[in-house]
Amino acid sequence: MTPADAAHLRCPQTGAPLRFDGTLDARGHLATGHLRPPGAGPTWRVLDGLPRLYREAQVARADRFMRRFYDGLPRAHDPAVKVLLPLLQGFSETEDRLRDAYIARLDLGSLPTDRPVHILEVGVGTGANLPRVRAALPPGADVRLWGLDLSAGMIGRLRASGRATDVRLLIGDAHHLPFAPQHFDRVFHVGGINGFGDARRALAEMARVARPGTPIVVCDEQLDPSRDHSWFHRLAFQAVTFYDDDPRAPTHLLPPGARVIADEQPTRFFYSLTWTQPG
């Protein structure tokens, strides 16, 4: 992330613009320092090139638990997803099938090519979606990719993987996104919102930072209500959703005025919900 990129950030407490005060690395990217608003106001640390745009005191207990969970398995996460999804759901219901379904809902091919566009993944994790996002972009598009996650372990794994070379990464809380309203041309989140401390607030934040009418896509666990399930499927689903008493698509939690475009079930254990917000 460069100082010019940092100028797109906003204080998650006040909404004020931020500027970087600190040292840069050899590429001209942020290294160590602080992000500060004009005049007085809260400051935010930058360590090892990563802005830390959250306050620990505001992180809910549920989110702290899930952060410990993800911090403990960054190396195992991607192989586990690739192997366990078809093993538990059925061998035709692969990781590729799921990811292709929700990436298609972002409608990346219709992004404008006459101006810079911004795409945000909330809960970027190890960056497994990033290759598919890049592959779906229209030729000639000037795209700025942003990735936010509360787990330093997952972001560390993403950086080590080489997937993050063109991604502006930061550690932050999905309940307090550090961006201006209507900033992003696409916003999406995969695989964590069922465990958020306040899913309604997180959905409202995604809607706030998205441009009016842009697709917002959320994907997480739900046992397909239209299908029959064996005892094995039901036990496996309970095991992978141990942290949630009622894992389902959060259509009832969407912000006022939300227009649902698609409420789908790409695989036995996962929904994909797409909606837009009016201007």
Q: How far apart are CA 275 and CA 258, in angstroms?
A: 6
> Can you give the pLDDT at residue 80?
78
Is residue 6's pLDDT more than 80?
yes
- Look at residue 279 in the predicted model and tell me its pLDDT: 80
- Residue 136 CB neighbours (<10 A): 15
Domains and CATH numbers, the chain: 3-53 (no CATH), 57-276 (3.40.50.150)
How high is the pLDDT of residue 102?
Answer: 97
Of 27-41, 61-75, 104-118, which gets the smallest average pLDDT? 61-75
User: What mean pLDDT do residues 49-62 have?
Assistant: 95
Residues 122 and 128: beta-carbon distance below 8 Å:
no
Give the separation between CA 14 and CA 55, rounded to whole angstroms.
13
- Residue 39's pLDDT is 86
When mean pLDDT is compared across 6-15, 71-80, 141-150, 229-238, the lowest value belongs to 71-80
Q: Using an 8 Å Cβ cutoff, are 123 and 190 in contact? A: yes
Q: Which residues of 144-162 are buried (b: 16+ CB within 10 A; e: fewer)?
A: bbbbbbbbbbbbebbbeee
The Cα 141–Cα 186 span in angstroms is: 14
pLDDT for 75-103, tens place per residue?
777 887 888 888 889 888 899 999 999 99
- Residue whose tokens read 């460069």: 2
pLDDT at 223 over 80: yes
Per-residue pLDDT for 132 more than 80? yes
Q: State the average pLDDT for the chain.
A: 95
Cα torsion at 220, 58, 174, 97 (round to 10°)? -20
Each residue of 241-278: pLDDT tens digit?
A: 998 989 999 999 999 999 999 999 999 999 999 999 99
Exposed e or buried b per residue across 186-199, where buried means at least 16 C-beta atoms within 10 angstroms of its C-beta: bbbbbbbbbbbbeb
Residue 141: the pLDDT is 95
> Is the pLDDT assigned to residue 186 strictly greater than 90?
yes
